[in-house]
Structure 1
Amino acid sequence: MKVAKFGGSSLASGGQLQKVIDIVKADPNRKIIVVSAPGKRNKEDTKVTDLLIKYCNVIINDGDVTGIQDKIIRRYQSIAGHFGVPLENIADIEIGIRQLATQVFPNRSYQMAAFKAAGENNNAKLVAAVFNHEGIKAHYMDPLKIGLRVTDVANDAQILPSSYQKLARLSEYTDTLVIPGFFGYNAKNNICTFSRGGSDITGAIVAKAVAAERYENFTDVDAIYAANPNVVENPRKITHLTFREMRELAYAGFSVFHDEALIPAIEGKIPVVVKNTNHPNLPGTLISETKEIDYDNVVSGIASDDGFTGIYIRKYLMDRQVGFTLKILQVLADLNISYEHMPSGIDDLTVIIRSNQLTPELEALVQERIEAAIQPDDFQIEHDYAMVMIVGEGIKDRVGTMAAATASVAIAGVSIVMVNHGASPVSITIGVRKEDADLAVKSLYRTFVNHETVHLTNLID
């Protein structure tokens, strides 16, 4: 049995849904289909999820909802009309969308979660109806009824382990099942959504639960690329990644997957294939637990992400003080701040955190409490860092990788503010200024993918 997830671009219109139908018919093992809400039909279009967010905000502000309701409903009706599905067959979609305006929610967070989830939920009903009309015997599966239970966090929920046993029963069905992605229900039957990339998470959860032979993630790209196509022109397609590599690349900014999305598949050791709905016969990118390492091409991908802040601390004889680092991390924990990296020297230490965790007020509080806890000789908070990550199985075993990486960045005229190598066996993380990130990525791509020789002669006095 295969689980196939289709993203918003794959379901944006009747024409796109026809491609999905052809894909499902082409392989009888594709029995469980996880769907996103309809996405953009063109650059000027609006995603259904964004329309639903607007709908919710209109209600919160006591506005007239008729126009936005009609606009959302027409998106579903236009897809149904493409296939000649009678509107009475999807009447519950219109009813559900209009009833959202009068529903009572515990608070606005749950209200927004329910509105956002309506995009996927109604699309699953629509896709099931179209499938049946087109000769695929299909059933819409309500996440509440199939036992998709999540933690009680309205817009950042996590799957409850107890859900897997109930979801495993999905493997007993012989017909095609259509499941809405992105959300589940808490213990009080309130809708809670996953984080961004939530439909990917649902697909991975279901694949793990039914022990799928493969989890296929259909999107609008032919494969995962070795670098961002907006930074590197015509980057190489990656044919095979390990779970570890994909996690590192997703963390560092690869947009195909949110870095949490694959965790259930990783836990279940379910192979994942990223494929293009528009070119389904292309092989795509396989992501699995292991792969054969090519030591001549040890780097699989190069990614970068900005939005980091460095907390720099200098304290003489820091290395002799027991519990010194613990005191710093305890301050951050007390303020509910997580850290990403922590490179250190004998008397110096930098804690790298995501900038979005700080406000000016919280930044001042961090400094005040850390200075009170450890009395540093120097304390600075540096903004606008970017992390550039070189990822590949076998990096730690290939002599000269670090030397080539730092030389490549130097050739680009980029100053390194941090290096983290050794903590992960499959990656090297290089901290640079935000404005230098693209230069670093381009140079590293030329070095490790194009195998251009690095010469440092002109940089050495």
Structure 2
Amino acid sequence: MKVVKFGGSSLASATQLEKVLNIVKSDLERKFIIVSAPGKRNSKDTKVTDALIKYYKHYISEKDVTEDQKWIIQRYQDIANDLHLDNRVMEKIQKAVLSLATLPITDNSFLYDTFLAAGEDNNAKLIAQYFNQNGINALYMHPKKAGIKVTSDPGNAQIIPSSYDRLEKLSDLEEVIVIPGFFGVTQDGQICTFSRGGSDITGSIVAAGVKADLYENFTDVDGIFAAHPGIIDNPNSITELTYREMRELAYAGFTVLHDEALIPAYRGHIPLVIKNTNNPSHPGTRIVLNHSKEQQPVVGISADDGFTSINLSKYLMNREIGFGRKVLQILEDLNISFEHMPTGIDDMSIIIRDRELTPIKEEEILRQLTHKIEVDKAEIERNLSILMVVGENMMSHIGVTAKAASALSENNINIEMISQGSSEVSILFVIRTEQKNDAIKALYNAFFQ
């Protein structure tokens, strides 16, 4: 039994949906289909999710939303017309889109999530109807009926563990179940979304719940590459990754798969494969618990922008009991999460994402470090990127870090800081953002050419 998730590019048009139909028909084990909202048909097109965001903003600003509603409804109507679907499904979709503008605005912390989730929910209705008209006995199922219960954290919902018991019962159904991705339902019946790109998360949750043999994630690329193809010309494709390797790569910029999507599948020991809707015969990239064969030390190189470092110095810092706790307490009180914290005997750097800082928070951090903890020096360093060299097999090979550092040095790329955990799954470098692309090329040439 397989759980299959299709991304927005796979569902953007009637032509793409015909490919999806053939993929599902070609394998009777594909029992659960998780769908995203329709993506872009071309580079100038608008995603349905983005159109819903615009609709929401106009609605809460009490502006005329007629054009927003027309555009979204017509977007689904175009697909329905091209597929010659029964008009009853469009009547349901139109009613659902219009009803969003009747929801209460004040004291409704789930309003934004409800608007966003409409993209996936309405697409699932349309796709279930399309399947039924073309030889697949399909059933649309809302996450509430499926039993996907989540915490009340708008935009960052977490699955409630009891959901897995309810999901397991779905495996007894005879139909192909079509479930909208990206959201669940709270204990109070409110629509609550996972973080953006969360249809991957829904697929992983369902796969773990029904104890699937495989979770297939269909997108628009032939799996995962050893480095970004926009930076490296024709990079090596990766046939197999472990969950830990994929987690590291996804964290540092590999956007093919949402990093949170790995957790349910990992805990349920469900193998996952990234495949291409436009080239379904390609084996793609398989993500497993442990490698099935010997791998080279480095499997991939990734990088991500948008980091800031808080650098501080204090003489004899290492002898001051509780110093690290006091620094982190400042961040906690300001609701700031940190990413990394390399230290020396008298120095400490705290890496955070740019979005965590506001001018007011930045000023308060520096004030408290200087006056409350009495550091000798505190400064903010911006325009940083994180560069990751990833591979579980690095631990059994000597000199990987030296090879990476030498490659960067030979290309005049300065390492701001370096970090490696005890598991030795990855080596993390912090570099200036303007040198990111050159750094990726240098490391790729060192390990893959």
Q: What SS class does the counterpart of residue 110 from structure 2 fall into?
A: helix
**Deviations for 1:195-250, whole angstroms, at most 9, x for unmatched residues?**
01110000000000011100000000011011111111111111000000000000
Q: What SS class does the counterpart of residue 440 from structure 1 fall into?
A: helix
Asked whether the equivalents of residues 32 and 179 of structure 1 are also in contact (C-alpha less than 8 Å), the reply is yes
Cross-structure match for 2:2: 2
Q: What SS class does the counterpart of residue 260 from structure 2 fall into?
A: coil
Q: What SS class does the counterpart of residue 78 from structure 1 fall into?
A: helix
Cross-structure match for 1:195: 195
Structure 1 position 445, deviation (Å): 0.3
AA aligned opposite 1:116? L
Question: Where in structure 2 are the equivalents of 1:224-239 lying within 5 Å?
Answer: 224-239=224-239
Provide the C-alpha distance between the structure 2 equivalents of 1:439 and 1:75, rounded to a whole number of angstroms: 41
Change (3 A) 1:383 1:108: farther
Structure 1 position 287, deviation (Å): 0.3
Structure 1 position 292, deviation (Å): 4.2
Cross-structure match for 1:398: 397
Cross-structure match for 1:186: 186
Question: Where in structure 2 are the equivalents of 1:250-269 lying within 5 Å?
Answer: 250-269=250-269
Provide the C-alpha distance between the structure 2 equivalents of 1:148 and 1:196, rounded to a whole number of angstroms: 17
Cross-structure match for 1:331: 330
Matched, 1:38 2:38: yes
Q: What SS class does the counterpart of residue 394 from structure 1 fall into?
A: helix
**Deviations for 1:165-219, whole angstroms, at most 9, x for unmatched residues?**
1111111112100000001111221111110111000000000001110000000
Q: What SS class does the counterpart of residue 160 from structure 1 fall into?
A: coil
Cross-structure match for 1:84: 84
Cross-structure match for 1:74: 74
**Deviations for 1:39-62, whole angstroms, at most 9, x for unmatched residues?**
111111111111111111221222
Provide the C-alpha distance between the structure 2 equivalents of 1:342 and 1:284, rounded to a whole number of angstroms: 36
Structure 1 position 392, deviation (Å): 0.5
Cross-structure match for 1:283: 283
Change (3 A) 1:73 1:404: same
> Normalised by the size of structure 1, how large is the TM-score?
0.95
Asked whether the equivalents of residues 242 and 288 of structure 2 are also in contact (C-alpha less than 8 Å), the reply is yes
Asked whether the equivalents of residues 328 and 373 of structure 1 are also in contact (C-alpha less than 8 Å), the reply is no
Larger deviation, residues 351-360 vs 420-429: 420-429
Structure 1 position 109, deviation (Å): 4.1
Asked whether the equivalents of residues 8 and 39 of structure 1 are also in contact (C-alpha less than 8 Å), the reply is yes
Cross-structure match for 2:119: 119
Provide the C-alpha distance between the structure 1 equivalents of 2:91 and 2:447, rounded to a whole number of angstroms: 55
**Deviations for 1:310-361, whole angstroms, at most 9, x for unmatched residues?**
1112122222222111111111111111111111112111111111100111
Cross-structure match for 2:305: 306
Question: Where in structure 2 are the equivalents of 1:416-435 lying within 5 Å?
Answer: 416-435=415-434
**Deviations for 1:66-94, whole angstroms, at most 9, x for unmatched residues?**
22212111121222222211212431111
Q: What SS class does the counterpart of residue 425 from structure 1 fall into?
A: coil
Larger deviation, residues 155-164 vs 119-128: 155-164
Provide the C-alpha distance between the structure 2 equivalents of 1:69 and 1:365, rounded to a whole number of angstroms: 44
AA aligned opposite 2:24? V
Cross-structure match for 1:110: 110
CA RMSD of aligned residues (A): 1.3
Cross-structure match for 2:347: 348
Structure 1 position 108, deviation (Å): 5.5
**Deviations for 1:142-161, whole angstroms, at most 9, x for unmatched residues?**
11122211111122211111
Structure 1 position 383, deviation (Å): 1.0
Provide the C-alpha distance between the structure 2 equivalents of 1:347 and 1:58, rounded to a whole number of angstroms: 52
Cross-structure match for 2:378: 379
Provide the C-alpha distance between the structure 2 equivalents of 1:166 and 1:424, rounded to a whole number of angstroms: 35
Change (3 A) 1:16 1:107: farther
> Normalised by the size of structure 2, how large is the TM-score?
0.97
Provide the C-alpha distance between the structure 2 equivalents of 1:346 and 1:103, rounded to a whole number of angstroms: 56
AA aligned opposite 1:44? K
Structure 1 position 402, deviation (Å): 0.7
Provide the C-alpha distance between the structure 1 equivalents of 2:314 and 2:329, rounded to a whole number of angstroms: 17
Cross-structure match for 2:48: 48
**Deviations for 1:347-392, whole angstroms, at most 9, x for unmatched residues?**
1111111111001110111111222343112222111111100001
Q: What SS class does the counterpart of residue 383 from structure 1 fall into?
A: strand
Larger deviation, residues 303-312 vs 98-107: 98-107
Provide the C-alpha distance between the structure 2 equivalents of 1:440 and 1:285, rounded to a whole number of angstroms: 25
Change (3 A) 1:293 1:27: closer
Change (3 A) 1:3 1:105: farther
Structure 1 position 285, deviation (Å): 0.2
AA aligned opposite 2:299? S
Matched, 1:171 2:165: no
Provide the C-alpha distance between the structure 2 equivalents of 1:179 and 1:280, rounded to a whole number of angstroms: 21
Q: What SS class does the counterpart of residue 253 from structure 2 fall into?
A: coil
Provide the C-alpha distance between the structure 1 equivalents of 2:85 and 2:174, rounded to a whole number of angstroms: 24
Asked whether the equivalents of residues 143 and 185 of structure 1 are also in contact (C-alpha less than 8 Å), the reply is yes
Provide the C-alpha distance between the structure 2 equivalents of 1:285 and 1:142, rounded to a whole number of angstroms: 30
Provide the C-alpha distance between the structure 1 equivalents of 2:423 and 2:338, rounded to a whole number of angstroms: 16
Q: What SS class does the counterpart of residue 4 from structure 1 fall into?
A: strand
Q: What SS class does the counterpart of residue 262 from structure 1 fall into?
A: helix
Aligned length: 449
AA aligned opposite 1:132? N
Cross-structure match for 1:415: 414
Cross-structure match for 2:244: 244
Asked whether the equivalents of residues 341 and 353 of structure 1 are also in contact (C-alpha less than 8 Å), the reply is yes
Matched, 1:441 2:440: yes
Asked whether the equivalents of residues 315 and 347 of structure 1 are also in contact (C-alpha less than 8 Å), the reply is yes
AA aligned opposite 1:357? E
Structure 1 position 38, deviation (Å): 0.6
Asked whether the equivalents of residues 90 and 129 of structure 1 are also in contact (C-alpha less than 8 Å), the reply is no
Q: What SS class does the counterpart of residue 148 from structure 1 fall into?
A: coil
